[in-house]
Amino acid sequence: MSFKLTPEQQQIRESIQRICEPFDDRYWLDRDTDGKFPEDFCQAIADEGFMGIAMPEQYGGSGLGIADAAVMAQAITESGAANAGFAALIIGIFGLNPVVVFGTEEQKEKWLPPIIKRQDVACFAVTEPNTGLDTTRLKTRAVRDGDHYVVNGEKIWTSTAQQCNKMLLIARTTREEETDKPINGLSLFYTDLDRNHIEVRPIDKMGRKCVDSNQLFIDDLRIPKEDLIGEEGKGFRYLLHGLNAERILISASMVGLGRCALKRGADYARERVVFNRPIGMNQSIQHPLAESWAELEAANLMAFQAATMYDAGEECGLQANAAKYLAAEAAYKSCTTAVMTHGGMGYAKEYHVERYLRECMIHRLAPISPQLILSYLAERALDLPKSY
């Protein structure tokens, strides 16, 4: 089995590289300094028709697969845009998958074209302060009131909410104690982010300054019943449908980020002369860089195996989670190695590798931790007893 890029995928990669050229390391360093959202970058991607790469053609998308979207994500991060470039776009690329799969024809026609054209910008309001990764225990409530739902609660780590006019929101429509399983009673909505009823408070964080992360305080937000996706109470199952694709896209993006850092490290190792020889002649410099290359390529193979299986309609939970684990760890090691290769200058912003290191951390942590992935793999691949 070969995971070599098809001619069409190679064309996608080259097109994204061309779009990314004006948005170089200096651009992203400036955005990391001033915190300005990279809207011009996002619009450039949308103008070339790539925002809807994995959405159906009848709504303005390209109708391509997750493997093709993974090629795009990887090319973005590998360009030097790092995780900031990927995070600024991801909700528009694949975030509305629940609408594509479970929405009505009327909802798709109304909601998808504006996202693809970036006339609408959406965020993903799922995580809550007191539930963490135990997503089935969400507390935000949506109570039916005639032809509306009234929503109250809090969300946290909601990216791009400062920029958005729309949001994908999951809330509990049936109290947990009234359901047979916590997974039931959660409903999914795609609706307006009404700032008269939602306070969006930014979180000052470690990296990715130009792509805001936020806490949302929702107070008596009224959502029309027409904004409910699918059936009431099945929202968490709708989210589960897209988790493997999300893992795959993150994996490909992290490989791209790791490759970007690795190139920086190798370039510096060739150019930096100490004791009358390039430091890249020293095996203590060579070997960590070589290890990172091997680990990134292995993670890339797993990511595209998972993508190929997903596009073929095959079960790929093991592969998608393994890919996310391997890619996140390999990218972290590659970014750390790039900083160490630069010595003291690796700590300086002008060499960019410290930014890559800060930005790679987010996907070691989220949307699922390495520990939970290992527990999942132990249970599903090795038939060991469930540990949580």
Q: Which domains does the chain have, with CATH numbers?
A: 7-116 (1.10.540.10), 122-233 (2.40.110.10), 239-382 (1.20.140.10)
**The one-letter amino acid at 359:** E
d(CA 164, CA 160) in angstroms, rounded, equals 6
Residues contacting residue 84 through CB under 8 Å, at least 6 positions apart? 28, 31, 32, 38, 207, 208, 209, 210, 211, 359
Residue 3 predicted with pLDDT over 80 = no
CB neighbour list of residue 105: distance below 8 Å, 6 or more residues apart? none
- Tell which residue, 231, 191, 226, 230, has the closest CA to residue 98: 230
Q: Are 327 and 307 in contact (CB under 8 A)?
A: no
Over residues 149-207, the pLDDT tens digits come to 999 999 999 999 999 999 999 999 999 999 999 899 999 999 999 999 999 999 999 99
- pLDDT tens-digit readout, 146-158: 999 999 999 999 9
- Rounded to whole angstroms, the Cα distance separating 286 from 104 reads 55
In this structure, which amino acid lies at residue 188? L
**Can you list the alpha helix ranges (DSSP code H) found in the chain?**
7-20, 25-34, 39-47, 66-76, 82-90, 97-102, 105-116, 235-241, 243-271, 283-311, 317-341, 353-360, 362-365, 370-382
Distance CA 53, CA 66 (A): 9
Q: What is the radius of gyration, based on Cα positions, of the chain?
A: 21
Identify the three-state secondary structure at position 152: strand
CB-CB contact of 80 with 260 (8 Å): yes
Sequence-distant (6+) residues with CB within 8 A of 182 are: 136, 137, 176
Nearest to 139 by CA among 93, 173, 91, 168: 173
pLDDT, tens digit, for every residue of 207-266? 999 999 999 999 999 999 999 999 999 999 999 888 999 999 999 999 999 999 999 999
Query: pTM, whole model, 2 decimals?
Result: 0.95
The confidence score (pLDDT) of residue 1 equals 61
Q: How confident is the model at residue 336 (pLDDT cuts 50, 70, 90)?
A: very high
